A = this chain, B = another copy of it.
């Protein structure tokens, strides 16, 4: 489910970008002076990244060819084994599966005797895909020239999240291959059920072989490709929570209506589970079509702080509303609100969304049946300080209050919102590296998309948690997903440059953690 804040908020406009124009290009020539922090070790590490780049690209292609998909129970054992092999190959001496009750996680450590530990979160699973929608086979990992960008790798998982993760692994490997010491120890926890909303990941974190090490970390981040095609980036301080569920009306549970699809003429005398679903759904939403009617839903929703409002106003000023509307195919925001208001809603408002409706006959034309079952695929997005448990309890209480207790609420995964302090060592390091690399960025108080960062930012760890990384890709969850390998655009980093940015970040985290955690 991992989303990039960039996609949600829109990219920085051209005028702003020009202010920092071209600075990112410094990284494209390895060994060029990297401002004040340059030193001989770093130079050797960066060189090793270039030396090994072809092999890294091949490793990414091999990984894309092995899609682990929890929803389809596809390549589970193979995915675990491959993740372990990738970690070992990058230099983690220990890497092991962690049982979760569902798809196993993988935990790997690389203790170089440094003073500080950093936690890295990976997802090794990918979203389902339909090859018919793709212009090249989604598991081929084909290298394609994309005008204005450069050479991209097209494949499921390319940007979400294997490309950025492989760029990070290449950075770690470069330390080993250049014989240089990492500035921090690394704890890597990789999940295989991120795309089904991490139903069992909390068990991996609390595993006795995992928790003590994670507790020592100054923060946790997931590698991501956060640059827009114009080179700008975002820094997100949190994310909404998400709970995925199905709301199911059926004759079997209701005790009324049919227990199998029957001829539709019978609706004259037999109740309809499909109409019942419609009626139950309609109680959830106020007439405006977006305000949630579930009692107490907004009780724990925190208003935006003055700093958050200021950050959003800054984003509104620096980004193009027209461009985002065009990308989304949207002509109006809710209530015809302004760009700033839309961004505030995106950062602050919980939602109950209908992802899909499925009942009875769904093929072409009609079919004269009275369906015995009707399903709404839904998801909650949760704003701080809502919790997953609170939302589920209130949802169930609402159905009960309105007499829809017979409807099944099938929770398939989810987690609460994530928040990380702007003055944490992790965020300070992120900012410092982007500034040093000349990457213009906006600070997003809260991504409307979701990732299981709350597993780290919430109890028992209570750590800073972030998504961070340079480079570019797009098409997560959709067809023709890609990750930029060799950039032909001086403002956007390719894979090798993204690896180098992780090298910078690791140094900077050590630096910032030494100053103040």
Query: A8-B265, A359-B354 given as contacts; is B364 within 8 A of A330 (CB)?
Result: no
- A499 interface residue (CB < 8 Å to B): no
- A14 interface residue (CB < 8 Å to B): no
**Contact check: which of B263, B269, B371, B372 meets A345 at CB < 8 Å?**
B269
Q: Are B266 and A346 in contact (CB under 8 A)?
A: yes
- A514 interface residue (CB < 8 Å to B): no
Interface residues of A in 332-384 (CB under 8 A from B): 332-334, 337, 342-343, 345-346, 348-351, 353-372, 374, 377-379, 381
**Contact check: which of B1, B127, B259, B412 meets A329 at CB < 8 Å?**
B259
Q: Are A268 and B349 in contact (CB under 8 A)?
A: yes
Query: A259-B330, A265-B3, A278-B278 given as contacts; is B8 within 8 A of A353 (CB)?
Result: no
Contact with B along A243-280 (1 / 0, CB 8 A): 01110000100011111101111111111101111110
Q: How far is the CA of A369 from the CA of B351 in the complex (A)?
A: 13
Q: Are A268 and B7 in contact (CB under 8 A)?
A: no
Interface residues of A in 389-430 (CB under 8 A from B): 412
- A450 interface residue (CB < 8 Å to B): yes
- A328 interface residue (CB < 8 Å to B): yes
Q: Are B366 and A360 in contact (CB under 8 A)?
A: no
Q: Are B290 and A279 in contact (CB under 8 A)?
A: no
Collect the chain B residues with CB atoms within 8 Å of residue A222's CB: none
Q: Are A355 and B369 in contact (CB under 8 A)?
A: yes
Of A100-108, A137-145, A281-289, A456-464, which binds chain B? A281-289
- A196 interface residue (CB < 8 Å to B): yes
Collect the chain B residues with CB atoms within 8 Å of residue A331's CB: 255-256
Distance in Å: Cβ of A234 to nearest Cβ of chain B:
14
Collect the chain B residues with CB atoms within 8 Å of residue A8's CB: 263, 265-266
- Chain B residue nearest to A343 (CB atoms) is B269
Q: How far is the CA of A127 from the CA of B366 in the complex (A)?
A: 10
- Chain B residue nearest to A450 (CB atoms) is B265
- Chain B residue nearest to A270 (CB atoms) is B330
Q: Are A367 and B360 in contact (CB under 8 A)?
A: no
Collect the chain B residues with CB atoms within 8 Å of residue A431's CB: none
Collect the chain B residues with CB atoms within 8 Å of residue A358's CB: 357-358, 362
Number of A interface residues, CB 8 Å?
A: 92
Q: How far is the CA of A379 from the CA of B272 in the complex (A)?
A: 13
Q: Are B346 and A371 in contact (CB under 8 A)?
A: no
Collect the chain B residues with CB atoms within 8 Å of residue A268's CB: 345-346, 348-351, 381, 448
Q: Are A381 and B267 in contact (CB under 8 A)?
A: yes
Q: How far is the CA of A350 from the CA of B267 in the complex (A)?
A: 9
Q: How far is the CA of A285 from the CA of B412 in the complex (A)?
A: 31
Q: Are B282 and A365 in contact (CB under 8 A)?
A: no
Collect the chain B residues with CB atoms within 8 Å of residue A262's CB: 328-330
Q: Are A357 and B360 in contact (CB under 8 A)?
A: yes
- A184 interface residue (CB < 8 Å to B): no
- Chain B residue nearest to A72 (CB atoms) is B364
Distance in Å: Cβ of A147 to nearest Cβ of chain B:
22
Q: Are B351 and A255 in contact (CB under 8 A)?
A: no
Q: Are A346 and B265 in contact (CB under 8 A)?
A: yes
Q: Are B370 and A353 in contact (CB under 8 A)?
A: yes
Collect the chain B residues with CB atoms within 8 Å of residue A264's CB: 351, 353, 355, 379, 381
Distance in Å: Cβ of A207 to nearest Cβ of chain B:
25
**Centre residue among A255, A268, A275, A412 by max chain B CB count within 10 A:** A268
- Chain B residue nearest to A363 (CB atoms) is B128
Q: Are A351 and B289 in contact (CB under 8 A)?
A: no
- A477 interface residue (CB < 8 Å to B): yes
Residue contacts A-B, CB under 8 angstroms, 23 given:
A8-B265, A72-B364, A196-B366, A244-B366, A244-B368, A265-B346, A267-B290, A268-B349, A269-B334, A270-B333, A271-B290, A272-B289, A272-B354, A274-B356, A279-B282, A355-B361, A355-B366, A357-B358, A357-B374, A358-B358, A361-B377, A362-B377, A366-B412
Q: A262-B330, A265-B450, A278-B281 are in contact. List 18 more A-B contacts (CB 8 A).
A: A3-B263, A7-B263, A71-B365, A128-B363, A245-B366, A264-B351, A264-B355, A264-B381, A265-B447, A266-B328, A266-B330, A269-B334, A269-B337, A278-B282, A355-B360, A355-B366, A360-B377, A368-B449
The residues of A with any CB-CB pair to B shorter than 8 Å are: 1, 3, 7-8, 71-72, 127-128, 196-197, 240, 242, 244-246, 251, 255-260, 262-272, 274-279, 281-282, 285, 287, 289-290, 328-334, 337, 342-343, 345-346, 348-351, 353-372, 374, 377-379, 381, 412, 447-450, 477
Nearest 3 pairs of A and B residues by beta carbon: A259-B329, A265-B448, A356-B360
